[in-house]
Amino acid sequence: MSGYRPEGIENAFAEDGAPAPASRPSGELPALGVVGWLRWGWRQLTSMRVALLLLMLLAVAAVPGSTIPQRPQDPSKVVEFFDDNPGVAPWLDKLQMFDVYGSVWFSAIYLLLFVSLVGCILPRAKVHWIALRARPPRTPRRMGRYPAQGARVYAASYTPAQVADAAAAHLRGRGPLPRFRVEQGTETSAGARAPEGEPGPVHVVAAERGYLRETGNIVFHLALVGLLVAVGLGQALQYRGQAIVVQGRGFANSVSAYDTFSEGPWFREENLPPFTMVLDDFTSTFTDDAMPVAKDFTAFVSVTDPAGTRLETIKVNHPLTIEGAKVYLQGNGYAPRLTVKDADGNVTFAGTVPFIPEDQVYTSRGVVKVPDVVTGEQIGLVGYLLPTAQLSAQGVRSLHPDLLNPVLVLTVWTGDLGLDDGVPQNVYELETEKMTQARTADGQPVTLMLAPGTTVDLPDGLGTLTLDDIPRFVALDLRHDPALTWIAIFAFTAIGGLMLSLFTPRRRVWLRVSTRSDGDGPARTVVETAGLARTDDAGLQPEVDALLAFLDTRDPAPDDRPAEDNPTPDDSPATDDLGETR
């Protein structure tokens, strides 16, 4: 298989006659032996062809993660998928299809790709490092074969040395950084004559520009490696906690204070910055449309850390940063404050219960579990909070997310809440297996409806339920990824390198100037130029043309120029092109 030969090794700009490095003909196997096979394997892995195959594989492998529900993103959807597809789901699970991006096969592809990348880019970087110090390549003797060419003939009074100096100055440019790296020299050549008729020196100029192209390519690829490493480190060190906080309440930054907490393997609890946070207030505004859309959410919090207490706000898109950890406002809703008393007037439940909004108008579902009854069975209440309730023949629904006419609609269950089984329970679901629903005489479920400040009787003499008021709650997400800065640095470095590598033209320009006289004619200064580009380069011929035009301006005696020998610029090869339409 003919592997990719890196730019520098392939040496596209090699001196005349340099042999092309041999590439192994396809199908030929290396000498036997473990080392031989390893070498062969490595060469295959770091070949461009394999890199290409791995890239294609990566693209294909990424797709199923968008069509099959993914555990890390949405575990409940995965459960649903299992219920809907009991046949295939276990098989897909064996193939790690529910965690594509953490799967063995996906990881294998990108790790191989990156090994290949390093194996490919490091040798290239070395070659480039040497190339950066090398001098521009020798001026070729024959210019005819190069894609851009030009020629001039001047009177002998414009000497080859003057022409060469002018060309070198032009190519170097006036800026602090040279445009081209330029090398000047002389050769002797049989065809050249000093004005007196003796063989004279041929002045040659060799110039090269665009080293940044390869630099950019290497920087880009290495930045990708850096990015992967930084992301990996971040995964190992990060932590994330979620907490639901009701207005007026707060929490301390410790693992136990979060409802859920996940961390990377290298996380240590002592890394948590010490602070406490209290939710003082929460405001939301919505549009007045028929379908209200949120315009703004703001959480007002007091943060207390060793430095003192300060007031802060958290908004969507504007997380609060506390010692490197970011606190995000991820959700919000209402948390009705309820009091349940039994028939004897004992308070069996008092507190706020977050109701989770399920639609744009904050129709919110919640569950109240009353396990601590003094006598009798445990009580479970399930239902909806309707912030702006409207009663109609079809039932009741909410019209707006603001608390304009709040009504709490609940049904009542009695029995065993199942809290003592030791199995962790979802606080937002009621396990009704061991419970029965309270029903009216005609068999309809009992429905309780409460406005704030009202008290209703629970059915079957279970006691009373009071809706005291309806404070807000916010869902906060706290996250710390110490690698973020590095990730950003590598990402932007990659973009920079990419731009350099794609948009820097890499060119070589050569110039030979000699004095000639054919037969008895007057001696003349003959200029030949050629240009070569690393890649197809629309600016190459214009570069050569500009050089010649500049030389013209330096001609001390333009009027003596032997005009018939000078091609008009339009005749020079390769200028009428896909270019200019007008």
Partner 1 sequence: MTTVGEMSDLLAWGTASAYAIALVAFAIDLSGRLGVRSVAREKALAAATPASGASTVATDVVDPAVRDTTSAGAVSEATARRAASLTSPWKAWSVSKPLAIAVSVSWMGLALHLAAIVTRGFAAGRAPWANLYEFILVGAFFAMAVFLVVQTRWEIRFLGTIVSGLATLAIVVALNAFHVEAAGVQPALQSYWLVIHVGIAVLATGIFTVAFAASVTQLLRDSRDEGSPMLASRRWSWLDQVPTAAQLELLSFRINAVGFVLWTFTLVSGSVWAEDAWGRYWGWDPKEVWSFVIWVVYAAYLHARTTRGWSGRRAAWFVVVGYACVLFNFTGVNMLFSGKHSYSGV
The CA–CA distances, whole Å, from 530 to 19, 151, 171 equal 22, 9, 13
Q: Can you count the helices (H) and strands (E) in the chain?
A: 11, 26
Complex with partner 1: residue 84 or 442, whichever CB lies closer: 84
How distant, in Å, are the alpha carbons of 320, 362, 406, 456, 480 from that of 289? 31, 15, 19, 34, 38
Minimum distance, C-beta of residue 112 to ligand HEM, in the bound complex (Å)? 9
- In the complex, the smallest distance separating the C-beta of residue 296 from ligand HEM, rounded to whole angstroms, is 39
Q: Look at residue 580 and give the partner it binds from partner 1, ligand HEM, none, a contact being a CB closer than 5 to 8 Å depending on partner kind.
A: partner 1
**Hey, is 140 helix, strand or coil?**
coil
Q: In the bound complex, what is the minimum distance in angstroms from residue 225's beta carbon to ligand HEM?
A: 8
491 binds ligand HEM (CB under 6 A): no
Strands 472-480 vs 308-315: parallel, antiparallel or unpaired? unpaired
Give the nearest distance from C-beta 63 to ligand HEM in angstroms: 17
Q: How far is the CB of 536 from partner 1 (least distance, A)?
A: 4
Task: State the binding string over 135-174 for ligand HEM (x if CB under 6 A, else -).
Answer: ----------------------------------------
512: nearest Cα among 555, 546, 537, 547: 547
Judged by CB under 6 A, the stretch of 26-34, 110-118, 330-338, 365-373 that binds ligand HEM is: 110-118
Minimum distance from CB of 240 to ligand HEM (Å)? 27
17: partner contacted, choices ligand HEM, partner 1, none (Cβ within 5-8 A by kind): partner 1
> Hey, which residues between 346 and 405 contact ligand HEM (CB under 6 A)?
none
Residue 73 interacting partner from partner 1, ligand HEM, none (CB closer than 5 to 8 Å by kind): partner 1
Residue with tokens 């440019």: 173
Q: Which of residues 7-26 bind ligand HEM (CB under 6 A)?
A: 7
Amino acid residing at 419: L
192 is a contact residue toward ligand HEM (CB under 6 A) = no
Query: In terms of CB distance, is 142 or 434 closer to partner 1?
Result: 142
Scanning the structure block, which residue is given the tokens 């480190």?
A: 233
Closest CB 211 distance from partner 1, rounded Å: 16
Binding footprint of ligand HEM, residue count (CB under 6 A): 15
Q: Which is nearer to ligand HEM, 2 or 436 (CB)?
A: 2
487 binds, among partner 1, ligand HEM, none (CB under 5 to 8 A by kind): partner 1
CA 579/CA 582 separation, integer angstroms = 9
Q: Which does 117 bind (CB under 5 to 8 A by kind): ligand HEM, partner 1, none?
A: ligand HEM
SS3 424: coil
Q: Which residue has the tokens 């940044």?
A: 212
Helix (H, G, I), strand (E, B) or coil at 484: helix
**Which residue, 20 or 557, is less far from partner 1 as judged by CB?**
20
What is the four-CA torsion angle of 18, 24, 26, 29, rounded to 10 degrees? 170
Selected from 68, 97, 100, 120, the binder of ligand HEM by CB under 6 A is 120
Q: Taking the complex as a whole, how short is the minimal distance between the CB of residue 519 and ligand HEM, in angstroms?
A: 49
Q: Which residue is nearest to ligand HEM (CB)?
A: 120
Stretch that binds ligand HEM, among 77-85, 95-103, 111-119, 281-289 (CB under 6 A): 111-119
Q: Which of residues 45-74 bind ligand HEM (CB under 6 A)?
A: 46, 48, 51
Query: Which 196-235 positions form the footprint of ligand HEM (CB under 6 A)?
Result: 217, 221, 224
116's contact among ligand HEM, partner 1, none, with CB below 5 to 8 A by partner kind, is ligand HEM
The nearest distance, CB 51 to ligand HEM, in angstroms, is 3
Nearest CA among 312, 239, 303, 238 for reference residue 275: 303
**Which of 35/56 has CB closer to partner 1?**
56
DSSP 249-305: -EEESSGGGSSEEEE-TT--GGGSPP-EEEEEEEEEEE--SSS--EEEEEEEEEEEE
What's the burial of 521, exposed, middle or buried (CB within 10 Å: 0-12/13-18/19+)?
A: exposed
Backbone dihedral region for residue 91 (phi beyond 0: left; psi -120 to 50: alpha; all else: beta): alpha
Q: Which does 294 bind (CB under 5 to 8 A by kind): partner 1, ligand HEM, none?
A: partner 1
| Neighbour tally for 501: CB within 10 Å | 19
| C-beta closer to ligand HEM: residue 168 or 224 | 224
Whether the CB-CB separation of 511 and 180 falls below 8 Å is answered with no
Residue 418's binding partner, choosing from ligand HEM, partner 1, none, with beta-carbon cut-off 5 to 8 A by kind? none
Chain length of the chain: 582
Q: Which one, 69 or 199, has the nearer CB to partner 1? A: 69
Lookup result for tokens 């100029």: 205
* CB contact at 8 A, 142 and 512: no
238 lies in the binding site for ligand HEM (CB under 6 A): no
Longest dimension (CA), the chain: 133
Taking the least distance from each CB to partner 1, the nearer of 66 and 256 is: 66
> Where does residue 38 rank: exposed (0-12), middle (13-18), buried (19+ CB within 10 A)?
exposed
Torsion sign across C-alpha atoms 86, 87, 88, 94: positive
**43 is in the binding site of which of ligand HEM, partner 1, none (Cβ under 5 to 8 A by kind)?**
none
- In angstroms, the CA 201 to CA 203 distance is 6
Looking at the Cβ atoms of 43 and 365, the one nearer to ligand HEM is 43
- ∠5-8-10 over CA atoms, to 5°? 40
Q: Which is nearer to ligand HEM, 195 or 496 (CB)?
A: 496
CA-CA distance, 263 to 25, in Å (whole number)? 51
In the complex, least distance from residue 101 CB atom to partner 1, rounded to whole angstroms: 5
Residues that bind ligand HEM (CB under 6 A): 6-7, 46, 48, 51, 113, 116-117, 120, 217, 221, 224, 498, 501-502
